[in-house]
Amino acid sequence: MMALLSSSAATPPIRRHFDRRRRLLSSPIHLFRRLILPYPKPNPTCSASWRELGSLPFLCAPQIRPSLEVAGVAGVSPAAFRFCQQEPLALDAASLAVKECESDDELLAAVRLRVRTFYDEFDQSSGDQDQRRHLEEREFEALKDRIDGKRIGFKRVSCINATLPLSPLLGHANGLCSACTFSQNGEDRVVVATLDINQCLKLADELTGKRPEELGAGLMRAYLSNVCVAKELQRNGLGFAIVSKSKAVARRWGINDLYVHVAVDNEAALKLYGKSGFVYENEEPAWQARFLGRPRRFLLWADLSQIELVV
């Protein structure tokens, strides 16, 4: 037995077994089975079948996808890989409208886009759908009250939307179209981006802007809130378009100082607001963010006094 353990003439059977097992465990197919298959959550808006897209969260990882493609894993079709690499839908700029909300139907469509964007944990179960509808109704009533001047501390509020006509170009965005469509002058349109502009002293639980600094001038500043763009149409300039429209509306109200809050790690939003002329003014303490259970935020400011007033 001692001679066998010390011999280097041949690899022992036990070692050969573990070498073979190690090669098997490191194979792409094993990685696929261990990392991808355990119960991913379906997404009912996928255009491909869930059998193809069961591995969606992991197929998009660059360190895994090439190995699977080379290995030719059974049950994963090219459609799944194309889905991961799919570009956002193209934007028909000629039919895009960016304006203040004009009807309750449009306002409800905007609220549904916000719930769809900010509360993506809802699935298709009946309980979650009931919660979604309750949240939409609550947010709609709260926003309508602010717009109608029924909320203390708000002098003026407007909802600004970017909308597109319902058309075959949006055919792959079934979830967006079914949730965020409204009728206007006999035409069906889809809210694809939205925000609120609030002329007020402050927003609840947020840092308060300091400009203008004159005594009693608190209502002469405005804040952006609920800024969101449909995920299917991101990187098409819609965020920049609605922010630019909000700046024009604020100038019409006589506002020179416009503020927005943004999470410190939201690089896409920071880039958007930087492009839109916002600069850093203040930031939220870490303890406050922990207390409120959210990411820490920056307060950004934009000087509107140089923007030409358009009546």
Residues with a known catalytic role: 273
H or E stretch including 161?
Answer: strand 154-165
Centre a 10 Å sphere on the Cβ of residue 290 and count the other Cβ atoms it contains: 10
| C-alpha–C-alpha distance, residues 24 and 22, integer Å | 5
For residue 238, what are the CA distances in angstroms to 41, 90, 96, 301? 29, 12, 9, 20
Centre a 10 Å sphere on the Cβ of residue 92 and count the other Cβ atoms it contains: 13
| C-alpha–C-alpha distance, residues 227 and 18, integer Å | 55
Alpha helices in 74-227 (DSSP H): 78-84, 104-118, 126-147, 174-180
